[in-house]
Amino acid sequence: MKRTIRIIGFLLLLVPGLLRAGERAPLPKKGPKVRMEWGVQAGAGFWSYAGGDNLGGLKGRMGWQAGISMAAVWGKWALQPEIRFVRHGVDLTLPGESGTKIDLKSSSIDVPVLFSVRAVEPLRIYAGPVLTVMDRCTYADPEGLALDVGHVRPTVGYTVGVSVVLGRRMLVDLRYTGGFGSVGGVFWNEGPEVKMRGHAVQLGIGYVFK
């Protein structure tokens, strides 16, 4: 018991000295704070398609995209999920002597999850997976009725790109978007399944809310 009392008394004597040392000691450096950044963006997409060996021809057309983004930024790094609506067309030429052409309209909702490096301002370099959560492709039959057909976008893709901040708010963005694997679909009644793989170069202009 006496030993315990002596130890407690010794510790109490040390407390004032420890407090004074703590006051003189420099504060530990804190890590970079995480800040949130929002943005909106719109622009043009230049689409191209490969595959469709059983077709007379398959050609992507220019389209457009618009979306919003949210980024968690710490230091020179950022995690940036986005939601983007993408619209473009595809010219499909049927096999055979007739060479019938079908005008496909593709609409999709993409969710890129980008990992960004911002080591040299105002430059940003990023890459990440893209989830296509909605993919609808239609064409008009001879009577003008819109018909749903197979997909033209895979569920999982990827994107790599670079963007530049002009001033404090304006953003110019250039990215390449592709898919993992090909997509199969039947684009006309009783026609053969079409295997196709698409990719795009997308140019956008945005506004950043910091």
Per-residue pLDDT tens digits of the chain, which is 210 residues long: 454 445 445 444 544 554 454 455 455 556 668 999 999 999 999 998 877 655 556 788 899 999 999 999 998 999 999 999 999 988 877 766 566 777 888 999 999 999 999 988 899 999 999 999 998 888 877 677 777 777 788 889 999 999 999 988 999 999 999 988 777 766 665 566 677 788 999 999 999 997
Using CA atoms, how far apart are residues 66 and 78, in angstroms rounded to an integer? 21
Q: Note the pLDDT of residue 16.
A: 52
Q: Which residues, 6 or more positions from 75, have their beta carbon under 8 angstroms from its beta carbon?
A: 32
Domain edges within the chain: 32-209
Q: What would the two tokens of residue 161 be? A: 């790109």
Predicted pLDDT of residue 8: 46
10 Å CB burial of residue 198 (0-12, 13-18, 19+) is buried
Alpha-carbon distance of 59 to 169, in angstroms, equals 36
What pLDDT does 95 receive? Answer: 66
Pairing mode, strands 170-179 and 77-93: unpaired
* pLDDT score at 33: 87
pLDDT for the residue 196: 79
Q: Report domain 32-209's class.
A: mainly beta
pTM of the model: 0.77
The identity of residue 207, as a single letter, is Y
User: How does strand 62-74 pair with strand 57-60?
Assistant: unpaired
* pLDDT score recorded for residue 186: 63
Give the chain's length: 210
CA 17 to chain centre: 55
